[in-house]
Structure 1
């Protein structure tokens, strides 16, 4: 099937002289406003380079954007309920646990803290639900995944509408700015951390960011710190790796997590979502120590388990949503965003899914229980992997998802150290909507949508993670189709 195309916000291609001039202006704007990352090839704490971005905002249907925004609080609540349904999580994850050591270790921490008695019943969720437009379905949005841990780029993408307004004015199209939605993701996400801090109720407490040993995506993380410090100068923020938490943090007799003599109110994970971030038992011991504590976790261990791909697949199964949502329009709207998701367990349904994918591998994506990008398999790799795993329990660690075919967009991707002017390329865009939720099993105290991001990649690229070097930052230009 040939892919349809959405029209760019202005006629393309641009004249090379005009293009080169506006690219240089945009790159300087990006550097001077923190749209940057550290260079993985030549790392230095003293320098940043531009994060990849698209020169012009990418078209997105206004109705579908509004739908995604309106649905976010509904999805926040759904995932909150899932995370507190012990029976559902146990049943959904049981087969994956036998073959996925990483998920099993997270699960074991969850079991251990439940058996001991949960010290902190409140959880903070800074979630992001990601969507692609499905071309054969009139460009309606379909959910790619739901991120419950380290949902990144809320900070940097909050600045992008200003950059695109500047670029459009430089190109003589200031009249188009009205079609660009404001984005207050940074402010909204930080408000969630501040509200959780206040609910902890210890004025001298601190907020702890759990970070990687080396932080390449430093701007996105630091902007959160700067925003919180500006809004609430009384809140001190510490940055620690899991290894440093193991070495430096302790639990006092009140089960408070104490670092440098101060209780931790909120633990915000920007690391801890993939196996490489737990290179030794020390990191796992640190994670258990945090979960045992009275700190409000973002995410709690059960929020992280609820964000696994097996849970996403299970919720799309017939009858699953009925467990968590009453019959009505909202449940229908949630079901409408699901695409085909299939279990690969060793049962009749799993066998049928394997046969279907081997017969027509291009239609599917094979997904493990991971966040962070770069983990999925596509096309011929799907067939090869399933043939290899067909009779192995390893396959239960994956789910099968129907591949979403989004419309094409023409545009320019601006990358660090790349040739100027850039070439006109075919692109596709993925929309992410951020949400904040705070609650426990009995009550949800805060639940709202707080902003968005758009990641755009080359149309022939399978993955689109910006931090992984595969996608580019973008912002939606809303179309009335």
Structure 2
């Protein structure tokens, strides 16, 4: 009899059975496009790709924590809709970054120009993702759900998550049909398509021209993660909504802003000029994109009557400085009723921006002491993985940078996940052992800001749509899957 190498959810798996599952996974990912594009090796007629890192077996996650995260998302959606609609509060939080953070300066300068010209579109839509990990400081404490961060711009992973969840449901039919009820279901892709279609129809309701309308997706060039973007584009076409991609550096040449602030787009193929109803951003979150041409492109988009997904103010709420500000007394309560604010607050970990206020100076002392810093992570105001600094490396990192730049960083207490075991396929190898998982809950939103009403708004759409679930070996700090730090997974919900 073959020797058991892994026990999972009450079942024994032999080495032969694991490799059978791996082959099933490889084929499923190829057939369903769960891939990363090999852009460095593209030829005129073909391009290689590889399967995205995936779990072989779903990783256990408490059902109660999963349901808690889902139940919180509408409150988080509303919190960030309202925070983004209060520019005075937002500027009071982010103003210290002026002169120290080039990305904030570029975005805020653009917003000021738009405000000076008069905002042409008060409707805003957004896709939010609140990321969580389980936290347990000692054996005496219960496991709690803690927020890692709130993503408000170019939230990635939604389409990958759908395919991995579907793959795990397929594998369960093969190996353990009774386990299907323990697996999470996700509808991210269709829900994002539905949001963008709703925004498109909202724009058309108030349009005065008979020019054909389209959704425009801004994208980065040489994009290896097209399998997480194209399904949304294709889904919009299938739903009867024309949708086109435009690389960030081509926005200025392919768009025109008319006198009445209508945004027109010239597709690469075809002679019909289209009116842009919605701008959906999957680019524009890195400072390198904001040279003179990039700033002009973002300004043109923001000046237009097109509905932005999201606009600049909502983009700014994703800065870690805003996350840190919201943990302060009275901040969440400014935007949410007391009962919802209390539930949201339970997920917060201690954070402090490295400014020159008393709390910031104390945080600097902690960051510069390698022994004290072992329980902390240093986060910049950047999107995407790979930018964080951990534990005893924080002191050396800060010493190499001028102190006036330290305002750009937030010191956060590390979340300490309880031990868990998983089996995953990293890009280069099979891994079985201690793992850490991160649950992301996605929400879609559409709201109308009331012009001149001091931050008031009317919420048109606020929905919890699905989730992402990522797992990494316990010794790996970062979590970005497409950058090779972990894998997409599916939660095995346990009571």
TM-score range, shorter chain: over 0.9
Q: Which residue of 2 aligns with 1:161?
A: 165
The residue that corresponds to 1:4 in the other structure is none
Whether 2:161 is the aligned partner of 1:144: answer no
Q: 2:39·2:222 contact (CA, 8 Å) conserved in 1?
A: no
Out of 363, 366, 382, the position equivalent to 1:356 is 366
Match runs of 1:189-338 below 5 Å: 189-201=192-204, 202=207, 204-230=212-238, 232-233=239-240, 235-260=241-266, 261-278=273-290, 280-327=291-338, 329-338=339-348
Q: String of CA shifts for 1:380-438, please: whole Å, max 9, x gaps.
A: 2212233445x71111011111011112322222244x35xx24232110000110111
TM-score (norm 1): 0.93
Residue of structure 1 in register with 2:479 after alignment: 464
Residue 320 of structure 1: how far off its partner (Å): 1.4
Task: Number of aligned residue pairs: give it.
Answer: 464
Residue matched to 2:490? 475
For 2:191 and 2:350, the matched residues in 1 are separated by 32
Cα distance, 1:410–1:470 mapped onto 2, change above 3 Å: same
Question: TM-score, normalized by length of structure 2?
Answer: 0.90
Cα pair distance change 1:125/1:426, threshold 3 Å: same
Q: Give distance in 2, aligned partners of 1:166 and 1:450.
A: 21
* Whole-angstrom distance in 2 between the partners of 1:277 and 1:372: 14
- 1:449 and 2:464 equivalent? yes
1:424 and 2:425 aligned: no
Offset, 1:11 = 4.4
Tell me the C-alpha RMSD between the 2 structures.
1.7
- CA deviations on 1:228-256 (whole Å, 9 max, x unpaired) are 222x22x2111101221111211112201
For 1:380, the equivalent position in structure 2 comes to: 392
Specify the alignment match of 1:3 in structure 2.
Answer: none
- Compute the displacement of 1:139 (Å): 2.2
CA distance in 2, matches of 1:459, 1:23: 21
Mapped to 1, the partners of 2:50 and 2:232 lie a distance apart of 19
1:443 counterpart SS class: strand
- What CA deviation, in whole Å up to 9, does each residue of 1:431-453 have, x standing for no partner? 00110111122211111111001
Q: Shift of the alpha carbon at 1:479?
A: 0.9
* Separation in structure 2 between the aligned mates of residue 475 and residue 8 of structure 1, nearest angstrom: 14
Q: Does 2:9 correspond to 1:9? A: yes
**Matching residue of 2:452:** none
Q: CA deviation at 1:48?
A: 2.4
Aligned to 1:107: 108
CA distance in 2, matches of 1:32, 1:120: 41
- Against the structure 1 CA distance between its residues 455 and 277, is the aligned structure 2 distance closer, same or farther, given a 3 Å change threshold? farther
1:81 & 1:126 partners in 2: Cα distance?
A: 14
2:181 alignment partner, one of 168, 175, 178: 178
Q: In 2, Cα distance between the equivalents of 1:357 and 1:410? A: 31
Q: Secondary structure at the match of 2:229?
A: helix
CA distance 1:258–1:10, shift in 2 (3 Å): farther
Aligned positions of 1:35-54 closer than 5 A: 35-39=34-38, 42-43=41-42, 46-54=47-55
The aligned counterpart of 2:3 is none
Could you tell me how far apart the structure 1 residues matched to 2:125 and 2:131 are? 19
Mark the CA change 1:406 to 1:11 in structure 2 (over 3 Å): closer, same or farther: farther
Residue in 2 that maps onto 1:407 = 418
328, 339, 343: which is aligned to 2:353?
343
Shift of the 331–268 alpha-carbon distance from structure 1 to 2, 3 Å rule, reads: same
Unpaired segments ≥5 residues, structure 2: 1-6, 267-272, 450-456
Q: 1:197 to 1:103 in 2, by over 3 A?
A: same
Query: By how many angstroms is 1:323 displaced?
Result: 1.5
Conserved 8 A contact 1:50-1:415? no
Gaps of at least 5 residues in structure 1 are: 1-6
The CA distance in 1 between the partners of 2:186 and 2:42, in whole Å, is 30
